[in-house]
Structures are given as structure tokens and as C-alpha cells.
């Protein structure tokens, strides 16, 4: 597996990481813990060194899973986790909380669950409009000085927030959704990251599974599956957006690859400081995703995808309005 550096930082990660959220949260009931530990370790054996989790996934159980799975190989891997949510008595998410004292409490709790004495990459999960970003960056800076955090990250932040945060404490990486069917980061975010030397970690690089070509307008989702609430996953939207999947399928056939591999190779071809984190709960899919790092898309291939994709108008908002309001701040 080739390695990539996130921006100008010295943080080196595998070109393809592993998003662990779906093992415990978001896409139906939690999966079998022992099977998921085996899958995470299989990823390490195949060269993946970059693993993504967050306290809110579960909450808490995903960090525990990742911590147990990676404890035997802790020195070989990069673990990213996130802070910034507030929870009720039953563990339900009840809002945002990026107050400095809360960030420090989360860091201590996350380290325990992750079975580590240092967090490699600590992201603010969503920008908290009630706490100045300089205070957030200052709290992480303190954790860096104490040796508890190595790198500071932001998730789904807008460019002004990125600039202000970076001025207070260098930001190593921004994590946001980015794929062939969600390209908004190209407008302002990617140029800003390039200018400041910040790496980019796209989540949902396969469009929450849609770009793999394994869904159609008849696919149904469990009520505990996040996609059942997303406008972009209504049967009408899926039918309208099939043209993008067909395009990937055509190129995949020519390259003797899969649609998922072409979608990931396209992301890797955008910038050398991009490291996507596709999630999966199946070994076969893990191996397929990892294989994307070996696929070479030429400048002509990328141009062809660009030309064809520009003629396809993707239908449906990516989030309900309330969730969308929490992004791009």
C-alpha cells in the first residue's frame, strides 16, 4: 500500500484508510464485535495504517472496538477520533459542545477507550457556533503540548473557520464528505487547503455505498440506517443518479476494475495529499477498496470522467436541512 502525507505535516498514512463508523453505528444494528476486530486486523495485514472513529459512533462503542482491535499493533497505525458532541443520560446526542474543558475530558475518555496514551489525529467533529474556534484550537494546542494529541483536525468546517483555526494551532487535516457525487469542496475548500498545506480526508468517498453500483431504486434500508433519512437516497433520487454509476461502470470495465475502485482512484488522482476513508464491514469489500490504490487513472482518464460527470446533475440534498446546517460553518 502506498503512503501519503497529509498536507505539510509529517503525518504519513496509507493512501486508503478505513472508516470504522458503520461497524457500530449509522448503517443498521452494530455488527458482531469479534468479526469487526478480525476485519480491522485484516486491514492492518494488508497495509492499511489509517483508522477513523469518533466518540459519537455508538456512542463510545466504536472507539472501544477500534482500541481493542489495534492494541497489538498500536505503534504501526494512525488512529483518528473526534470530539464536539454533547450526550444525554441515555447516551443520546443532544447538541454540540466544544468548550475547552469538555474537549480535554473527551480526550481522556477517548484515550481510555482506544487503549492508548496519545491520539494521533483529534478532529472537531462539527463546528460549534457557541465556542470561538481559537478557543477550540487552544484546547487542542494544550493537549499537543501535554503529549496527549499529535495532530489537530477539523470536520466539515468552512474556509473562514479553517483559516482562523490554522492560525491558532496548525491544522493537519480536514475531513469532509467528497466524492464524484458530492463535489462542493472543490469550490473553496480544496484551494484553501492547498494554500495552507492541510491534508484532506474524504469520508463517504463511495457515496455511502451508492457509487459501488450495488444499489438501485428498489433497494430498501432498515429504519436504523442513516440512509433511510437522507433525501439523496429516496428511490426517485437513486433512479435519477444512476447515470453516475453507469459512467463509473463503463470506465471500470475498460480498466478491469470495479466501480468502487474507479470512484476511489478518481479521488486519489485529484491531489497527492488526499487520503479517503471508505468504510466497510466485509473483507471482500475491504480488499476491493484497497485495490483502488493500484489503479492508475491517466490525465486523459480523469478528463474523460470530468467531461462525462459534468453533464450529470446529481439529484437530492445530501442531508436533511437540520444536519446540513451543521456543515460548512
Task: Give the active site residues.
Answer: 57
Task: Report DSSP letters for 240-306, one per residue.
Answer: HHHHHHHHHHHHHHHHTS-HHHHHHHHHHTT-TTB----B-S-HHHHHHHHHGGG----HHHHHHHH
3-state helix, strand and coil shares in percent for the chain, rounded to the nearest 5:
45, 15, 35
Beta strand ranges found along 144-204 (DSSP E): 149-155, 171-177, 199-203
Which residues, in sequence order, are CB contacts of 95 under 8 Å at separation 6+?
Answer: 85, 86
Angle subtended at Cα 67 by Cα 82 and Cα 208, rounded to the nearest 5 degrees = 55
Q: How crowded is the C-beta side of 22, counted as CA atoms within 13 Å?
A: 18
C-alpha cell at 122: 483529534
Judging by beta carbons within 10 Å of its beta carbon (0-12, 13-18, 19+), is residue 2 exposed, middle or buried?
exposed
- Helix or strand holding residue 87 (H, E): strand 85-87
Amino acid at each position: 500500500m502506498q503512503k501519503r502525507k497529509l498536507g505539510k505535516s509529517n503525518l504519513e498514512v496509507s493512501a486508503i484508510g478505513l472508516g470504522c463508523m458503520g461497524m457500530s453505528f449509522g448503517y443498521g444494528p452494530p455488527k458482531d464485535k469479534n468479526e469487526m476486530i478480525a476485519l480491522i486486523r485484516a486491514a492492518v495485514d494488508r497495509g492499511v495504517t489509517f483508522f477513523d472513529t469518533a466518540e459519537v459512533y455508538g456512542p463510545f462503542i466504536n472507539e472501544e472496538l477500534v482500541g481493542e482491535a489495534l492494541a497489538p499493533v498500536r505503534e504501526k497505525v494512525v488512529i483518528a477520533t473526534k470530539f464536539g458532541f454533547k450526550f444525554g443520560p441515555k447516551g443520546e446526542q443532544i447538541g454540540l459542545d466544544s468548550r475547552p474543558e469538555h474537549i480535554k475530558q473527551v480526550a481522556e475518555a477517548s484515550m481510555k477507550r482506544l487503549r492508548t496514551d496519545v491520539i494521533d489525529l483529534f478532529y472537531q467533529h462539527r463546528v460549534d457556533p457557541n465556542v470561538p474556534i481559537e478557543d477550540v484550537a487552544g484546547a487542542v494546542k494544550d493537549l499537543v503540548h501535554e503529549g496527549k494529541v499529535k495532530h489537530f483536525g477539523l470536520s466539515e468546517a468552512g474556509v473562514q473557520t479553517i483559516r482562523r483555526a490554522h492560525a491558532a494551532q496548525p491544522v493537519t487535516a480536514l475531513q469532509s464528505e467528497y466524492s464524484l457525487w458530492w463535489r462542493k469542496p472543490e469550490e473553496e475548500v480544496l484551494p484553501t487547503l492547498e494554500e495552507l498545506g492541510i491534508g484532506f480526508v474524504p469520508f463517504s468517498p463511495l457515496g455511502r455505498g451508492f457509487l459501488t453500483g450495488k444499489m438501485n431504486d428498489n433497494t430498501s434500508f432498515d429504519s436504523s440506517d442513516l440512509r433511510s433519512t437522507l433525501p439523496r437516497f429516496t428511490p426517485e433520487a437513486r433512479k435519477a443518479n444512476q447515470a453516475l454509476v453507469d459512467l463509473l461502470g463503463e470506465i471500470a470495465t475498460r480498466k478491469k476494475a470495479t466501480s468502487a475502485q474507479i470512484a476511489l482512484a478518481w479521488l486519489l488522482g485529484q491531489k497527492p495529499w488526499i487520503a479517503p476513508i471508505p468504510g466497510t464491514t466485509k473483507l471482500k469489500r475491504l480488499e476491493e477498496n484497497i485495490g483502488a490504490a493500484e489503479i492508475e487513472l491517466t490525465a486523459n482518464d480523469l478528463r474523460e470522467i470530468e467531461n462525462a460527470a459534468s453533464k450529470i446533475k446529481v439529484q437530492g440534498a445530501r442531508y436533511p436541512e437540520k444536519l446540513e446546517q451543521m456543515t460548512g460553518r
